[in-house]
């Protein structure tokens, strides 16, 4: 929000919809006021606001309760939001930073020294101390592990077990992370250490992986006499090697929405300590947007699963319909065979036959009676049409094998 933001007149209904569609901190920046001021205006206008943890539950896909907008007096249907001068000042710098986006890779291109100092003063709890006191639990665990390794190395007779001593860059890295972690947790977030000491910031239910490391540069180093004798270095006088620069780089290892910066490389003019307020603002401002993106993605996935299930049910219904039709055709074929057998029996009866002739254990007349009985019991029409379709109704999509040819 830039200076000179106009006063906003907005309907209660419209403000009610916006309050329940976006975090209060986002709307506060949009209107140039503090979050608490915007919430007080909603209370005065009898507009219910989301409770604490609402957006975290939304991001997690949990159900939330949205109270209805109560009626208000006719003369109170418009809410007037007057921007706060202090909010306009503090929000102007992040706007300039976002405008630079990823075009500026070093801290000097987006945060000149004098302006960064004023930003650090505006957020004193982000001031990095010169000494580490009462370290954050993650930093404390690192220090304890390093101390245990040193003690184990002293007790061991095996060489090479002692851990590498912390450098001045290591100490700076610990202090910067300690300051950032504590600030994030004051803002309602949490610092997370994942496998292999990978770090992440959790805000609004979103885990944002981060990395703070020393920047290396690639240099040409002349080969030693011993290295020149190695076969794979035949004909070579130098090799490429990474060398520490003593400069720190902070990286956000997750894709952020458009215009958010992802990395900060300190220079001789601006240290990473001076960039910490911008890093903090980027994380806290990007987290709600990431939570909304996660919510939309989960909704898309849920709708996709519903559509896939509906397609599955439709396919099962189609298979069952095909199998029921197959059963009907089988009954029709059976009836047609009975009709042919009945005509054949009538033709046999027209012949001049002696019914008393014995054929096996039956006489010819008994054989004719047996044929008539089978024609009667096996004719599908004699079982009744309701029995016919009741039999077809029992057919499922698993009644016939997949290789059976459908009609």
| Rg from Cα positions in the chain | 40
Spatial separation of the C-alpha atoms in residues 209 and 195, rounded to whole Å? 12
- In this structure, is residue 227 part of a structural domain? no
In a domain, 218, yes or no: no
pLDDT at 75 over 80: no
Residue 235 lies in a domain: no
DSSP SS3 for 146: helix
Going by C-beta distance under 8 Å and a sequence separation of 6 or more, which residues neighbour residue 121? Answer: none
- The pLDDT tens digits for 150-200 are 888 888 777 667 788 999 999 999 999 999 999 999 999 999 998 878 999
**Whether residues 14 and 67 fall in one domain:** yes
- How many angstroms separate the first and last alpha carbons of the chain? 68
Task: List, for residues 345-399, the tens digit of each pLDDT value.
Answer: 999 989 888 889 999 999 999 999 999 999 988 888 888 889 999 999 999 888 7
Q: Are 111 and 246 members of one domain?
A: yes
Asked which of 42, 59, 83 is the last residue of a domain, the reply is: 83
Mean pLDDT over all residues of the chain?
A: 83
DSSP string, 8-73: EEEEHHHHHHHHTTS-HHHHHHHHTS-HHHHHHHHHHTT---PPTTHHHHHHTT-----PPPPP--
- Residue 238's pLDDT band (boundaries 50, 70, 90)? confident
Residue 76 — pLDDT band, cuts 50, 70, 90?
confident
Query: What pLDDT does 141 receive?
Result: 93
- From 83, 102, 135, the end of a domain falls on 83
Q: Which of 241, 252, 195 is nearest to 218 (CA)?
A: 241
Residues 6+ apart with CB under 8 A from 169: 214, 244, 246, 248
Q: Say if residue 183 is in the same domain as residue 313.
A: no
What pLDDT is attached to residue 39? 87
Nearest to 25 by CA among 36, 9, 12: 36
The reply to whether 48 and 193 lie within a common domain is: no
Q: What's the pLDDT tens digit per position in 21-61? A: 888 888 888 888 888 888 888 888 889 999 888 887 777 77
Whether residue 69 contacts residue 13, with contact meaning beta carbons closer than 8 Å, is answered with yes
- The answer to whether residues 38 and 60 belong to one domain is yes
Q: How far is 298 from 291, CA to CA, in rounded Å? A: 10
- Considering the domain architecture, whether residues 134 and 25 belong to the same structural domain is answered as no
69's tokens: 């907008």
Instruction: Confirm if 244 and 170 have CB atoms less than 8 A apart.
Output: no
Share of the chain above pLDDT 90, in %: 45
Tracing tokens 């997370």 back to the chain, one arrives at: 192
Chain centre to alpha carbon of residue 111: 32
Largest CA distance in the chain: 126
Q: Structurally, how many domains does the chain consist of?
A: 3
Q: Does residue 107 lie within any of the structural domains? A: yes
146 with 285, same domain? Answer: yes
User: Which residues have a Cβ under 8 Å from the Cβ of 20 and sit 6 or more positions away?
Assistant: 50, 66
pLDDT at 320 over 90: yes
Residue 354 lies in a domain: yes
Q: Return the pLDDT at 85.
A: 59
Host domain of residue 70: 8-83
Gap between the Cα atoms of 189 and 99, Å rounded: 26
As a whole number of angstroms, the distance between CA 183 and CA 175 comes to 12
Q: What is the mean pLDDT of residues 97-121?
A: 39
Report yes or no on 130 lying in a domain: yes
Q: Among the three residues 297, 317, 342, which one is the final residue of a domain in this structure?
A: 297
255: in domain = yes
280 & 331 share domain: no
Please list the residues that pair with 135 across neighbouring strands: none
What residues contact residue 249 under an 8 Å CB cut-off, 6+ apart?
212, 213, 214, 215, 263, 264, 265, 266, 272
| More confident call, 118 vs 176 | 176
Same domain, residue pair 98 and 66: no
* Closest alpha carbon to 275 in 100, 124, 113, 89: 113
Cβ-based neighbour number of residue 152 at 10 Å: 12
Same domain, 162 and 288: yes
Which of 62-66, 127-131, 357-361 bottoms out in mean pLDDT, i.e. has the lowest?
62-66
What pLDDT sits at residue 114? Answer: 38
Residues 69 and 102 in one domain: no
Q: Is pLDDT of 213 > 60?
A: yes
Q: Considering the entire predicted model, what is its pTM? A: 0.54
Per-residue model confidence (pLDDT) at position 94: 39
103 and 20 inside one domain: no
User: Going along 204-311, which residue ranges are E strands?
Assistant: 206-222, 238-252, 263-265
């Amino acid at each position: 929000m830039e200076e000179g933001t106009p006063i906003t007149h907005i309907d209660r209904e419209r403000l009610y919809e916006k309050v329940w569609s976006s975090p209060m901190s986002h709307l506060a920046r949009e209107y140039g006021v503090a979050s608490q001021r915007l919430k007080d205006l909603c209370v005065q206008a009898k507009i219910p606001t989301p409770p604490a943890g609402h957006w975290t539950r939304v991001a997690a896909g949990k159900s939330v309760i949205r109270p209805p907008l109560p009626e208000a007096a006719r003369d109170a249907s418009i809410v007037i939001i007057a921007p706060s001068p202090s909010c306009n000042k503090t929000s102007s710098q992040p706007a300039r930073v976002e405008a630079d986006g990823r075009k500026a890779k070093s801290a000097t291109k987006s945060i000149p020294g004098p302006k960064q100092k004023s930003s650090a003063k505006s957020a004193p709890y982000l001031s990095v101390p010169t000494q580490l006191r009462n370290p954050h639990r993650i930093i404390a665990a690192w220090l304890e592990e390093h101390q245990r390794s040193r003690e184990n190395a002293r007790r061991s007779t095996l060489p090479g077990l002692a851990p590498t001593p912390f450098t001045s860059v290591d100490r700076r890295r610990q202090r910067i992370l300690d300051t950032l972690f504590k600030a994030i947790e004051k803002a309602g977030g949490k610092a997370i250490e994942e496998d292999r000491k990978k770090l992440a910031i959790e805000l609004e239910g979103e885990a944002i992986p981060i990395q703070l490391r020393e920047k290396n540069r690639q240099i040409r180093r002349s080969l030693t006499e011993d290295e020149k004798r190695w076969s794979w270095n035949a004909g070579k006088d130098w090799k490429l090697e990474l060398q520490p620069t003593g400069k720190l780089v902070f990286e956000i290892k997750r894709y952020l929405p458009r215009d958010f910066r992802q990395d900060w490389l300190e220079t001789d003019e601006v240290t990473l300590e001076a960039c910490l307020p911008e890093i903090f603002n980027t994380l806290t401002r990007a987290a709600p947007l990431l939570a909304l993106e996660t919510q939309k993605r989960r909704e898309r996935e849920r709708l996709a699963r519903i559509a896939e299930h509906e397609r599955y049910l439709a396919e099962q219904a189609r298979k069952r319909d095909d199998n029921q039709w197959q059963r009907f055709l089988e009954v029709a074929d059976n009836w047609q065979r009975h009709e042919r057998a009945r005509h054949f029996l009538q033709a046999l009866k027209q012949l001049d036959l002696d019914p008393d002739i014995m054929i096996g254990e039956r006489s010819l007349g008994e054989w004719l009676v047996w044929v008539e009985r089978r024609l009667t019991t096996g004719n599908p029409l004699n079982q009744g049409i309701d029995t016919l379709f009741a039999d077809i109704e029992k057919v499922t999509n698993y009644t016939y094998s997949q290789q059976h040819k459908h009609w």
